[in-house]
Amino acid sequence: MSVLAAVMPAPRAKVEIREFDEPDLPAGGALLNTAFSEVCGTDVHLWHGRLSGVPYPIIPGHVTTGTLDKARGELRDVMGSVLREGDRLAFFDVHRTCGRCLACTVHRTPTRCPSRRVYGITDSATEGLFGGWSQKVYLEPGVIIAKLPDAVTFEAYIGGGCGLLTSVHIIERAQIRLGDTVVVQGAGAVGMSTAALARKAGAGQVIVIGAPADRLALAQEMGADHVIDIDRTVPEERLQHVLDLTGGLGADVVVEAAGSPRAFEEGLRMARNGGAYVIAGHYTNTGDSTLNVHEHINRKHLDIRGCWGSEVGHFLRALRALERHGDDVPWAKIGAATYGLGQLNEALATAEALKIPKALVDPWR
Ligand SMILES: [Zn+2]
Ligand SMILES: [Zn+2]
Protein backbone atom coordinates (compact mmCIF):
# COMPACT_ATOMS: atom_id res chain seq x y z
CA MET A 1 0.00 0.00 0.00
CA SER A 2 1.32 3.44 -0.80
CA VAL A 3 0.67 6.62 1.11
CA LEU A 4 0.57 10.15 -0.28
CA ALA A 5 2.26 12.91 1.67
CA ALA A 6 3.21 16.54 1.03
CA VAL A 7 6.95 17.11 1.33
CA MET A 8 8.78 20.40 1.90
CA PRO A 9 12.06 19.59 0.07
CA ALA A 10 14.00 22.66 1.29
CA PRO A 11 13.35 26.20 2.53
CA ARG A 12 11.54 28.32 -0.07
CA ALA A 13 11.10 25.31 -2.35
CA LYS A 14 7.62 24.34 -3.52
CA VAL A 15 5.86 21.72 -1.44
CA GLU A 16 5.31 18.58 -3.55
CA ILE A 17 3.28 15.40 -3.22
CA ARG A 18 5.34 12.22 -2.91
CA GLU A 19 4.40 8.59 -2.59
CA PHE A 20 5.70 6.58 0.37
CA ASP A 21 5.50 2.89 1.20
CA GLU A 22 3.41 2.03 4.20
CA PRO A 23 5.96 1.20 6.92
CA ASP A 24 6.50 -2.26 8.40
CA LEU A 25 5.50 -1.66 12.00
CA PRO A 26 7.85 -2.71 14.79
CA ALA A 27 6.35 -4.04 18.05
CA GLY A 28 4.63 -1.13 19.78
CA GLY A 29 4.44 0.91 16.58
CA ALA A 30 1.21 2.12 15.00
CA LEU A 31 -0.18 3.91 11.99
CA LEU A 32 -2.62 6.80 12.24
CA ASN A 33 -5.12 7.43 9.47
CA THR A 34 -5.04 11.24 9.31
CA ALA A 35 -8.29 13.17 9.62
CA PHE A 36 -6.72 16.63 9.94
CA SER A 37 -3.38 18.25 10.36
CA GLU A 38 -2.72 21.98 10.29
CA VAL A 39 -0.69 24.78 8.75
CA CYS A 40 0.45 27.07 11.54
CA GLY A 41 2.95 29.89 11.94
CA THR A 42 5.71 27.35 12.56
CA ASP A 43 5.15 25.85 9.11
CA VAL A 44 5.58 29.29 7.60
CA HIS A 45 8.86 29.65 9.55
CA LEU A 46 9.92 26.21 8.26
CA TRP A 47 9.13 27.29 4.74
CA HIS A 48 11.21 30.46 5.23
CA GLY A 49 14.06 28.36 6.66
CA ARG A 50 13.99 30.32 9.92
CA LEU A 51 14.35 27.37 12.29
CA SER A 52 17.77 25.84 12.86
CA GLY A 53 18.53 22.13 12.67
CA VAL A 54 15.60 21.15 10.46
CA PRO A 55 16.48 17.98 8.46
CA TYR A 56 14.86 18.84 5.10
CA PRO A 57 13.15 17.22 3.28
CA ILE A 58 10.36 17.06 5.85
CA ILE A 59 6.68 16.18 5.91
CA PRO A 60 5.34 19.17 7.87
CA GLY A 61 2.29 19.04 10.14
CA HIS A 62 3.18 18.62 13.80
CA VAL A 63 -0.20 18.52 15.52
CA THR A 64 -2.42 15.98 13.83
CA THR A 65 -5.49 13.88 14.64
CA GLY A 66 -7.21 10.86 13.10
CA THR A 67 -8.14 7.25 13.69
CA LEU A 68 -6.01 4.23 14.53
CA ASP A 69 -5.33 2.44 11.26
CA LYS A 70 -3.31 -0.45 12.67
CA ALA A 71 -0.95 -1.30 15.49
CA ARG A 72 1.59 -4.06 16.03
CA GLY A 73 0.89 -5.68 19.39
CA GLU A 74 -1.19 -4.21 22.17
CA LEU A 75 -1.24 -0.41 22.05
CA ARG A 76 -2.33 1.63 25.05
CA ASP A 77 -3.03 5.31 25.38
CA VAL A 78 -1.46 7.49 28.03
CA MET A 79 -4.39 6.79 30.40
CA GLY A 80 -3.76 3.05 30.09
CA SER A 81 -6.72 2.09 27.89
CA VAL A 82 -6.14 -0.44 25.15
CA LEU A 83 -6.61 1.13 21.72
CA ARG A 84 -8.51 -0.49 18.88
CA GLU A 85 -8.54 0.08 15.16
CA GLY A 86 -10.86 2.95 14.32
CA ASP A 87 -10.45 4.72 17.69
CA ARG A 88 -10.26 8.50 17.37
CA LEU A 89 -6.82 9.59 18.52
CA ALA A 90 -4.54 12.49 19.10
CA PHE A 91 -0.83 12.05 19.73
CA PHE A 92 1.76 14.27 21.34
CA ASP A 93 4.00 15.57 18.56
CA VAL A 94 7.06 15.79 20.83
CA HIS A 95 8.84 12.45 21.13
CA ARG A 96 12.16 10.95 22.24
CA THR A 97 12.42 13.29 25.25
CA CYS A 98 15.01 11.22 27.13
CA GLY A 99 14.03 11.60 30.79
CA ARG A 100 17.68 11.14 31.84
CA CYS A 101 19.60 14.27 30.85
CA LEU A 102 20.30 17.35 32.95
CA ALA A 103 17.40 19.25 31.36
CA CYS A 104 14.95 16.40 31.97
CA THR A 105 16.01 15.55 35.53
CA VAL A 106 17.92 18.31 37.34
CA HIS A 107 16.61 21.44 35.67
CA ARG A 108 13.16 19.94 35.10
CA THR A 109 12.88 21.60 31.72
CA PRO A 110 12.04 18.65 29.44
CA THR A 111 11.17 21.00 26.59
CA ARG A 112 14.90 21.81 26.50
CA CYS A 113 15.99 18.15 26.32
CA PRO A 114 18.61 17.83 23.56
CA SER A 115 17.23 14.45 22.42
CA ARG A 116 13.71 15.78 21.96
CA ARG A 117 12.25 15.54 18.48
CA VAL A 118 9.04 16.93 17.05
CA TYR A 119 6.87 15.43 14.32
CA GLY A 120 6.72 17.63 11.24
CA ILE A 121 9.61 19.84 12.40
CA THR A 122 12.75 17.95 13.40
CA ASP A 123 11.97 14.57 11.81
CA SER A 124 13.16 14.01 8.26
CA ALA A 125 10.97 12.60 5.50
CA THR A 126 13.92 10.30 4.71
CA GLU A 127 13.02 8.42 7.90
CA GLY A 128 9.38 7.92 6.95
CA LEU A 129 5.93 9.27 7.71
CA PHE A 130 6.80 11.64 10.56
CA GLY A 131 4.45 14.48 9.72
CA GLY A 132 0.74 15.18 9.46
CA TRP A 133 0.62 16.45 5.89
CA SER A 134 0.24 12.81 4.98
CA GLN A 135 -2.60 10.34 4.58
CA LYS A 136 -1.02 8.21 7.29
CA VAL A 137 1.37 9.03 10.12
CA TYR A 138 3.79 6.55 11.65
CA LEU A 139 3.53 6.52 15.45
CA GLU A 140 6.82 5.08 16.61
CA PRO A 141 6.96 3.04 19.85
CA GLY A 142 6.90 5.37 22.85
CA VAL A 143 4.90 8.18 21.21
CA ILE A 144 2.29 9.47 23.66
CA ILE A 145 -1.21 8.77 22.35
CA ALA A 146 -4.56 9.82 23.80
CA LYS A 147 -8.11 8.91 22.81
CA LEU A 148 -10.06 11.97 21.77
CA PRO A 149 -12.87 12.44 24.31
CA ASP A 150 -16.30 11.74 22.76
CA ALA A 151 -17.30 15.38 23.12
CA VAL A 152 -14.27 16.63 21.17
CA THR A 153 -14.60 16.72 17.38
CA PHE A 154 -11.58 16.41 15.10
CA GLU A 155 -12.30 20.00 14.01
CA ALA A 156 -12.24 21.35 17.58
CA TYR A 157 -9.05 19.48 18.44
CA ILE A 158 -7.18 20.67 15.38
CA GLY A 159 -8.69 24.18 15.62
CA GLY A 160 -7.07 24.44 19.05
CA GLY A 161 -4.06 22.50 17.74
CA CYS A 162 -0.53 23.47 18.65
CA GLY A 163 -1.65 26.93 19.76
CA LEU A 164 -3.87 25.42 22.43
CA LEU A 165 -1.05 23.26 23.80
CA THR A 166 1.19 26.31 23.93
CA SER A 167 -1.45 28.33 25.70
CA VAL A 168 -1.96 25.64 28.35
CA HIS A 169 1.76 26.02 29.07
CA ILE A 170 1.42 29.82 29.08
CA ILE A 171 -1.41 29.66 31.62
CA GLU A 172 0.78 27.47 33.84
CA ARG A 173 3.70 29.90 33.58
CA ALA A 174 1.43 32.92 34.10
CA GLN A 175 0.09 31.69 37.45
CA ILE A 176 -3.11 33.68 36.96
CA ARG A 177 -5.02 34.47 40.15
CA LEU A 178 -8.74 35.08 40.48
CA GLY A 179 -9.64 38.55 39.31
CA ASP A 180 -6.36 39.26 37.52
CA THR A 181 -6.25 41.50 34.49
CA VAL A 182 -4.52 39.62 31.69
CA VAL A 183 -3.25 41.32 28.54
CA VAL A 184 -2.60 39.03 25.57
CA GLN A 185 -0.46 40.51 22.80
CA GLY A 186 -1.31 38.73 19.56
CA ALA A 187 -4.58 37.51 18.06
CA GLY A 188 -3.26 34.40 16.34
CA ALA A 189 -4.08 30.84 17.33
CA VAL A 190 -1.94 31.08 20.49
CA GLY A 191 -3.37 34.44 21.55
CA MET A 192 -6.96 33.30 21.06
CA SER A 193 -6.56 30.11 23.06
CA THR A 194 -4.68 32.03 25.75
CA ALA A 195 -7.58 34.50 26.01
CA ALA A 196 -10.02 31.60 26.35
CA LEU A 197 -8.01 29.77 28.98
CA ALA A 198 -7.15 32.93 30.95
CA ARG A 199 -10.88 33.50 31.27
CA LYS A 200 -11.43 29.91 32.41
CA ALA A 201 -8.50 30.23 34.83
CA GLY A 202 -10.31 33.04 36.65
CA ALA A 203 -9.03 36.24 35.09
CA GLY A 204 -11.17 39.25 35.97
CA GLN A 205 -10.68 40.80 32.57
CA VAL A 206 -8.88 39.69 29.43
CA ILE A 207 -7.58 42.24 26.94
CA VAL A 208 -6.40 41.04 23.52
CA ILE A 209 -4.20 43.29 21.37
CA GLY A 210 -3.82 42.41 17.70
CA ALA A 211 -5.28 42.59 14.21
CA PRO A 212 -7.09 42.32 11.86
CA ALA A 213 -10.64 43.11 12.96
CA ASP A 214 -12.12 39.69 12.17
CA ARG A 215 -9.53 37.95 14.34
CA LEU A 216 -10.28 40.35 17.18
CA ALA A 217 -13.98 39.55 16.80
CA LEU A 218 -13.16 35.84 17.12
CA ALA A 219 -10.93 36.61 20.14
CA GLN A 220 -13.99 38.15 21.77
CA GLU A 221 -16.01 35.03 21.03
CA MET A 222 -13.17 33.01 22.57
CA GLY A 223 -13.27 34.99 25.82
CA ALA A 224 -11.65 38.42 25.47
CA ASP A 225 -13.50 41.21 27.30
CA HIS A 226 -11.71 43.99 25.42
CA VAL A 227 -9.78 44.09 22.18
CA ILE A 228 -7.34 46.72 20.90
CA ASP A 229 -6.66 46.90 17.15
CA ILE A 230 -2.96 47.52 16.43
CA ASP A 231 -3.83 48.70 12.92
CA ARG A 232 -5.87 51.58 14.31
CA THR A 233 -3.79 52.65 17.32
CA VAL A 234 -0.26 53.79 18.17
CA PRO A 235 1.69 52.29 21.12
CA GLU A 236 0.92 55.21 23.48
CA GLU A 237 -2.81 54.79 22.87
CA ARG A 238 -2.64 51.06 23.55
CA LEU A 239 -0.74 51.62 26.79
CA GLN A 240 -3.24 54.27 27.85
CA HIS A 241 -6.13 51.92 27.05
CA VAL A 242 -4.65 49.23 29.32
CA LEU A 243 -4.01 51.77 32.08
CA ASP A 244 -7.58 53.07 31.76
CA LEU A 245 -8.91 49.52 32.20
CA THR A 246 -6.76 48.90 35.28
CA GLY A 247 -7.21 52.08 37.32
CA GLY A 248 -3.84 53.36 36.08
CA LEU A 249 -1.94 50.37 37.52
CA GLY A 250 -1.25 48.15 34.52
CA ALA A 251 -2.04 44.48 34.02
CA ASP A 252 -1.27 41.76 36.56
CA VAL A 253 -0.14 39.44 33.78
CA VAL A 254 0.95 40.23 30.22
CA VAL A 255 1.40 37.44 27.68
CA GLU A 256 3.50 38.03 24.57
CA ALA A 257 2.13 35.87 21.73
CA ALA A 258 2.96 38.22 18.88
CA GLY A 259 6.55 37.37 17.98
CA SER A 260 7.61 40.99 17.61
CA PRO A 261 10.45 42.80 19.43
CA ARG A 262 8.21 45.90 19.44
CA ALA A 263 5.43 43.98 21.17
CA PHE A 264 7.89 42.98 23.91
CA GLU A 265 8.88 46.63 24.45
CA GLU A 266 5.21 47.57 24.71
CA GLY A 267 4.28 44.71 26.99
CA LEU A 268 6.92 45.68 29.56
CA ARG A 269 5.16 49.00 30.00
CA MET A 270 1.71 47.42 30.26
CA ALA A 271 2.55 45.19 33.23
CA ARG A 272 1.90 46.53 36.74
CA ASN A 273 4.54 46.80 39.46
CA GLY A 274 5.28 43.27 40.64
CA GLY A 275 3.41 41.82 37.68
CA ALA A 276 4.41 38.95 35.43
CA TYR A 277 5.31 38.89 31.76
CA VAL A 278 5.26 35.55 29.91
CA ILE A 279 7.14 35.45 26.58
CA ALA A 280 5.83 32.78 24.21
CA GLY A 281 5.72 34.35 20.74
CA HIS A 282 9.44 34.50 19.94
CA TYR A 283 9.73 31.04 18.44
CA THR A 284 12.29 32.40 15.96
CA ASN A 285 14.91 35.11 16.30
CA THR A 286 13.15 38.32 15.33
CA GLY A 287 15.96 40.66 16.40
CA ASP A 288 16.72 42.83 19.41
CA SER A 289 14.39 44.74 21.68
CA THR A 290 15.27 47.97 23.43
CA LEU A 291 14.46 48.43 27.07
CA ASN A 292 15.41 50.43 30.09
CA VAL A 293 16.30 47.87 32.72
CA HIS A 294 15.83 50.27 35.64
CA GLU A 295 12.47 51.54 34.53
CA HIS A 296 10.95 48.43 33.00
CA ILE A 297 12.27 45.58 35.12
CA ASN A 298 14.21 46.42 38.27
CA ARG A 299 12.17 49.29 39.72
CA LYS A 300 9.00 47.61 38.55
CA HIS A 301 9.94 44.37 40.32
CA LEU A 302 8.77 42.64 37.16
CA ASP A 303 8.84 38.89 36.78
CA ILE A 304 9.70 37.88 33.18
CA ARG A 305 9.22 34.23 32.23
CA GLY A 306 10.06 32.44 29.00
CA CYS A 307 7.83 29.64 27.76
CA TRP A 308 9.26 27.05 25.35
CA GLY A 309 7.39 24.15 23.77
CA SER A 310 4.99 21.88 25.60
CA GLU A 311 5.02 18.77 27.75
CA VAL A 312 2.77 15.72 27.90
CA GLY A 313 0.80 17.33 30.73
CA HIS A 314 -0.07 20.29 28.53
CA PHE A 315 -1.31 17.93 25.82
CA LEU A 316 -3.59 16.13 28.29
CA ARG A 317 -4.84 19.35 29.88
CA ALA A 318 -5.62 20.69 26.40
CA LEU A 319 -7.84 17.65 25.82
CA ARG A 320 -9.57 18.18 29.17
CA ALA A 321 -10.10 21.88 28.35
CA LEU A 322 -11.62 20.99 24.96
CA GLU A 323 -13.87 18.42 26.60
CA ARG A 324 -15.06 20.72 29.37
CA HIS A 325 -15.22 24.07 27.56
CA GLY A 326 -15.79 23.14 23.93
CA ASP A 327 -19.44 24.20 24.14
CA ASP A 328 -18.70 27.84 24.91
CA VAL A 329 -15.27 28.31 23.31
CA PRO A 330 -15.43 28.01 19.49
CA TRP A 331 -12.03 26.36 18.92
CA ALA A 332 -13.17 24.87 15.61
CA LYS A 333 -13.58 28.39 14.19
CA ILE A 334 -9.81 29.03 14.39
CA GLY A 335 -9.34 26.56 11.53
CA ALA A 336 -10.78 28.87 8.93
CA ALA A 337 -10.17 26.90 5.72
CA THR A 338 -9.27 23.33 4.73
CA TYR A 339 -6.72 22.38 2.08
CA GLY A 340 -5.84 19.12 0.34
CA LEU A 341 -2.26 17.89 -0.21
CA GLY A 342 -2.11 19.54 -3.63
CA GLN A 343 -3.07 22.96 -2.28
CA LEU A 344 -0.47 23.45 0.43
CA ASN A 345 1.64 26.04 -1.38
CA GLU A 346 -1.51 28.12 -1.54
CA ALA A 347 -2.20 27.37 2.15
CA LEU A 348 1.32 28.50 3.12
CA ALA A 349 0.92 31.72 1.14
CA THR A 350 -2.40 32.38 2.89
CA ALA A 351 -0.87 31.69 6.31
CA GLU A 352 2.19 33.82 5.46
CA ALA A 353 -0.06 36.76 4.60
CA LEU A 354 -1.84 36.25 7.95
CA LYS A 355 -5.13 36.10 6.09
CA ILE A 356 -6.49 33.36 8.35
CA PRO A 357 -5.41 32.27 11.86
CA LYS A 358 -5.00 28.67 10.79
CA ALA A 359 -5.43 26.46 7.75
CA LEU A 360 -6.42 22.82 8.17
CA VAL A 361 -5.01 19.99 6.08
CA ASP A 362 -7.22 17.10 4.97
CA PRO A 363 -4.85 14.75 3.10
CA TRP A 364 -7.69 12.68 1.66
CA ARG A 365 -9.36 15.61 -0.05
ZN1 LIG B 1 16.41 14.70 28.23
ZN1 LIG C 1 2.19 24.75 15.22
Confidence (pTM): 0.96
DSSP code per residue over 189-226: HHHHHHHHHHHHTT-SEEEEEE--HHHHHHHHHHT-SE
User: How much distance in Å is there from the Cα of 163 to the middle of ligand 2?
Assistant: 6
Ligand number nearest to the C-alpha of 108: 1
Nearest Cα residue to 343 out of 360, 320, 318: 360
pLDDT in tens, 231-249: 999 999 999 999 999 999 9
CA 69 / ligand 1 centre spacing (Å)? 30
Q: CA angle at residue 42 from 14 to 227, to 5 degrees? A: 125
Q: pLDDT confidence of 21, banded at 50, 70, 90?
A: very high
User: Tens of pLDDT along 75-131?
Assistant: 999 999 999 999 999 999 999 999 999 999 999 999 999 999 999 999 999 999 999
Considering only CA atoms, which of 60, 66, 37 is closest in space to residue 48?
60
CB 125 within 8 A of CB 19: no
Report how far ligand 2's centroid is from the alpha carbon of 60 (Å). Answer: 10
Q: What spacing in Å lies between the alpha carbon of 273 and ligand 2's midpoint?
A: 33
| CA 356 – CA 365 distance, rounded (Å) | 20
For 12-39, give one letter per residue: b (16+ CB within 10 A) or e: eeebeebebebeebeebbbbbbbbbbbb
CA-CA distances (angstroms) from residue 46 to 41, 265, 337, 351? Answer: 9, 26, 20, 12
48 alpha carbon – ligand 2 mean position (Å): 15
Which residues have C-beta under 5 Å from ligand 2, the single-atom ion?
Answer: 40, 42, 162
**Which ligand is closest to the CA of 99, given by its number?**
1
Query: Ligand nearest 98 Cα, by number?
Result: 1
CB atoms under 10 Å from CB of 306, counted, come to 12
98 Cα–ligand 1 center, Å: 4
Please give the pLDDT value at position 354: 82
Ligand 1 centroid from CA 85, angstroms? 32
Q: Which amino acid is at 154?
A: F
- Render pLDDT for 267-279 as a digit per residue (tens, 0 to 9): 999 999 999 999 9
Segment 28-86, tens digit of pLDDT: 999 999 999 999 999 999 999 999 899 999 999 999 999 999 999 999 999 999 999 99
Tell me, in angstroms, the distance from the centre of ligand 2 to residue 203's CA: 26
279-289 per-position pLDDT tens digit:
999 999 999 99
Kindly give the distance from the C-alpha atom of residue 248 to the centroid of ligand 2, in angstroms, as a whole number: 36
Confidence of residue 1 (pLDDT cuts 50, 70, 90): confident
Cα(62) to ligand 2 centroid in Å equals: 6
Q: What does DSSP assign to residue 254?
A: E
User: Distance from the CA of 279 to the center of ligand 1, in angstroms?
Assistant: 23
Which value, in Å, is the radius of gyration of the alpha carbons in the chain? 20
CA of 245 to the centre of ligand 2 (A): 32
What percentage of the chain has pLDDT greater than the value 90? 97
Q: What is the mean pLDDT of the chain?
A: 97
Instruction: Report the pLDDT averaged over residues 305-325.
Output: 97
